[in-house]
Amino acid sequence: MATLVLAGAGHAHLPILTNIPEFVRRGHCVTVIGADDFHYYSGMGPGLLSGDYRPEHTRFDVATLTRRGGGTFVRDRVTGIDPGTRKVHTENSGWIDYDVLSCNLGSSVCLPTGEFDKDRVFTVKPIENLDKFRRSVQATDRNLLVVGGGAAGAEIAANLGCWLSGSGHSAHVDLIAGNVFLADFPAGIRHRVERTLDALPVRLHAGERLAKLERGQAILESGLALPYDRALLATGVTPPLLFAEADLPTGQDGGLLVNRFLQAIDHPEIFGGGDCISFADRHLARVGVYAVRQGPVLLRNLLAALEGEQLTPFRPQNHFLLIFNLGRQQGLLRWHSLTWSGRIPFLIKDYIDRRFMQEYQRCGETNQPHSSS
C-alpha cells in the first residue's frame, strides 16, 4: 500500500480528487492538505465583484470530495518539504509521510513596500479575497484602488466599476496599470478594454507604476499621490518559497522545476501543477487554462508513479480561447486573430465556466469519478 499526498487542492488536482475512489480501489492511501475546505475557481472570480456570481457558484467543497472518496483531508498549510525522508511539513499537523507527492500550491501576490493598514489592502490570491473585498467596501468609501495592468487588473477594475455604478455608490476606481496597460495583448484588445473602462467610474493610470503604499494613499513612481480607502492588488504572482527552502530544483522565479511529465527534476516521486511549477524546457504563462489541462495528465501520472507504469507527457496547446469578463454581462473574446466583444462572448464564457463547475460539483455530490479522457 502506497501513500499519495496532494499538497494543495487547486485546479490541477481536481481530476485526482474526483478519482480518489479509484486510487483507494487499487490499494493506495490518499491524503489531501488544503488551507480551506473550499477551493475557488479563478475564472469566475471577477464576477464576484460585479455580483454576477455568489461565492457558492464559484467554489468546490474539496474537503467533502476527499472524504466521500475515501481519502483523508487535512485542513492545514504546507510549510515545508523534506524530499530526503519523503515528508511534508504542515503548520499545525506536523510531518506527513508520502510515497508520491503532488504539489498544487498556487502562487501569491507580493505586497508592496510602505506602511499601510493590511485590513484595507487585499490581494487577488486567494480568489475568495475578491468577495471579502467587496463586502468590506463601506458606504463612506470614495476611492477604491486596483493595482495591476494585466488581464486580472482589467477584469477586476471593470467589474468593480460596474458594481459601483449599478448600486448607486459614489466611489470611483483608480487603476494603476504599470508601464503599458495589457502589455501582452494586441492594441485592438487594449483599446476595447480602455473604452469599456472609460464608460465606468474607473480612472486608468497607464504608464504609472506603484512605488509604495502608505496609509490612505498610493505613491506612484512619478511622484503622484492617489488617495484610497480600499486597495486590491492584482500584480504579478510568485510561487511559494518552500521549494527553494527544501533544496528542490526551481526555475528562476522559484517555481518547482518539472519536466514534460510534470515530474520534479531529480525527484521522480514529486509532481506538480498550476502556478507553483516552472518547466525546465519552456516558459509557460501562469494562466488557469494550463492548470486545468494539466489535471488529467497528473491523474494518469500519479497512478503510474504509484504502480511503476509509464508516464504521459503534458503537451500544452499553442493557442487557447481567452474571454475577458468586463461586467454587465459583457465579454471580450480572443481566439487567434479573432476578437469579438459584446454579450454573446460573456454568455459563452459563462456557459463554459458553469459547465466546468457543475461537472466537478456534481462529482462531489454523487461521488462518481470524473472522466479524465
| pLDDT score of 373 | 43
Query: For residue 25, how many other CB atoms are within 10 A of its CB?
Result: 11
Assign residue 262 a region: left if phi > 0, alpha if psi is -120 to 50, beta otherwise? Answer: left
Length of the chain: 373
**pLDDT value of position 286:** 79
pTM of the model: 0.93
Chain mean position to CA 4: 23
Question: What tens digit of pLDDT does each residue of 238-272 get?
Answer: 999 999 999 999 999 999 999 999 999 999 999 99
Tell me the pLDDT of the chain (373 aa) as tens digits: 899 999 999 999 999 999 999 999 999 999 999 999 999 999 999 999 999 999 999 999 999 999 999 999 999 999 999 999 999 999 999 999 999 999 999 999 989 999 999 999 999 999 999 999 999 999 999 999 999 999 999 999 999 999 999 988 899 999 999 999 999 999 999 999 999 999 999 999 999 999 999 999 999 999 999 999 999 999 988 999 999 999 999 999 999 999 999 999 999 999 999 999 999 988 888 788 999 999 999 999 999 999 999 999 999 988 899 999 999 999 999 999 999 999 999 999 999 999 999 988 876 554 455 554 4
- Residue 146: HSE in the Cβ half-sphere, 13 Å Cα cutoff: 35
Radius of gyration of the CA atoms of the chain, in A: 21
* Tally of CA atoms within 13 A in the half-sphere of 250 that contains its CB: 17
pLDDT of residue 325: 98
Q: From edge to edge, which strands make up the β-sheet containing 210-214?
A: 210-214, 217-220, 225-227
Q: How far is CA 135 from CA 57, 163, 235, 325, 356, in A?
A: 17, 12, 21, 20, 26
Cβ-Cβ contacts under 8 Å for 338 (sequence gap 6 or more): none
Cell numbers of 53, please?
456570481
149-187 pLDDT, tens digit per residue, is 999 999 999 999 999 999 888 999 999 999 999 999 999
| Spatial contact of 201 and 165, defined as CB atoms under 8 Å apart | yes
CA distance 114 to 332: 36
Domains of the chain: 3-107+239-321+348-366 (3.50.50.60), 109-233 (3.50.50.60)
